[in-house]
Amino acid sequence: MPSIPSLGGPRALRDSKVFDRFKAYLTVEKGLSRNTVESYLLDLKGFFAYLSERGIGPIDFTKEDIASYLAFLTDKAYSTASRSRFIASLRGYCKYLIMEKLIDEDPSETLHPPKQWERLPKALDISDIKTLLETELPLRFHERDTAMLELLYSSGLRVSEIVSLKIEHINFEGGFMRVMGKGSKERVVPINQRAIEKIKRYISNLRAEVLKGKTSPYLFLSNRAEPMTRQRFWQALKEYGKAAGLTLTPHSLRHSFATHLLDGGADLRSVQKMLGHADISTTQIYTKVSADKIKKTYRQHHPRAG
């Protein structure tokens, strides 16, 4: 996304201060994570750049300006998820402007996100999961990578959560861990025995070798003994997916975790807590995935389904 072009003069100073204060509001008062704040601001910067080209400041836009920008995103082939995220970011920004009495009416009030039911999470088949988790690559960090893959599927973590995981957060004897999720909200998530064994093997062998006598609270480390980045793990995930003959996304294992739990009879509230969803409606999308699978099975096997 382009940065906000400078308009010059007092208005530019006012606008930049509003943006800085909104960033502080998200971080300090709302307690959102750095990744979430960056996503909000990136969406808004694109919108503000669009407005600036038309001589409109980031406080002076109307409902018509929002509609025009959404049409622009659609023309540029932005995905439904990207447009929905922009709407969520803009709503939060407009609520802040109202709260600070910088505007009298909320131009995003009647804004509805585009329909997303057609874009359901892609879950892997259980056989594909087995193939992925058993894939071996002749890489130095194979023990680390396979431990991370096993943990993602066994516990449904976000990639950002797994790279920030600390050893002290894991209770190896109890089979659970404390996870710091979005908005700095902590939750307790179970870990299966396979993941525990792979993590222990990684800690004893590769992690100790990487540290070379140093210490680090973080579980998964790079070759520089620093915490893994999301980008580096995504690269590793693609490598293992390619070797297993699978097309993966950063959330493939998280989606599979949720879908397979519900297919196995888990209740929605429990899955919501394990995923760390603040709103159960976010978790309910997986019931649609499972319902589609049930209908497919019915059509394939019931003699009167045709």
Task: Give the DSSP per-residue string, 153-188.
Answer: HHH---HHHHHT-BGGGEETTTTEEEEE-GGG-EEE
What's the confidence (pLDDT) of residue 128?
95
Residue of 83, 144, 158, 207 marked active site: 158
DSSP state of 190: E
Q: What is the CATH number of the domain that holds 41?
A: 1.10.150.130
Which of 52, 84, 99 is the C-terminal boundary of a domain? 99
* Residue 119 a catalytic site member: no
Q: Please give the average per-residue pLDDT across 174-190, as a whole number.
A: 87
The whole-angstrom separation of Cα 158 and Cα 155 is 9
Q: Which amino acid is at 149?
A: L
Task: Among 1-15, 65-79, 102-116, name the one with the lowest average pLDDT.
Answer: 1-15
* Residue 251 a catalytic site member: yes
Smallest CA-to-CA distance from 207 within 192, 186, 222 is with 222
Q: What are the distances in angstroms from CA 55 to CA 7, 52, 62, 209?
A: 8, 5, 13, 57
pLDDT above 90 for 167: yes
- Whether pTM > 0.85 for this model: the answer is no
Residue of 207, 254, 255, 260 marked active site: 254
Is residue 292 domain-resident? yes
Smallest CA-to-CA distance from 99 within 91, 110, 88, 87 is with 91
* Residue 69 a catalytic site member: no
- 160, 293 Cβ separation under 8 angstroms: no
The whole-angstrom separation of Cα 221 and Cα 164 is 10
Residue of 122, 251, 273, 293 marked active site: 251
Is residue 113 domain-resident? no
Q: pLDDT averaged over the chain?
A: 85
Do both 147 and 248 map to the same domain? Answer: yes
Per-residue confidence at 148, pLDDT binned at 50, 70, 90?
Answer: very high
Q: How many structural domains comprise the chain?
A: 2
Do both 93 and 139 map to the same domain? Answer: no
The three-point CA angle 176-181-187 to 5° equals 35
What's the confidence (pLDDT) of residue 230?
86
Enclosing domain of residue 55: 9-99
Residue of 182, 187, 201, 232 marked active site: 182
Per-residue confidence at 7, pLDDT binned at 50, 70, 90?
Answer: very low
* Residue 207 a catalytic site member: no
Q: What is the CATH number of the domain that holds 215?
A: 1.10.443.10
Most confident of 22-36, 55-69, 77-91, 186-200: 186-200
What's the confidence (pLDDT) of residue 215?
93
Task: Among 70-79, 142-151, 235-244, name the one with the lowest average pLDDT.
Answer: 70-79
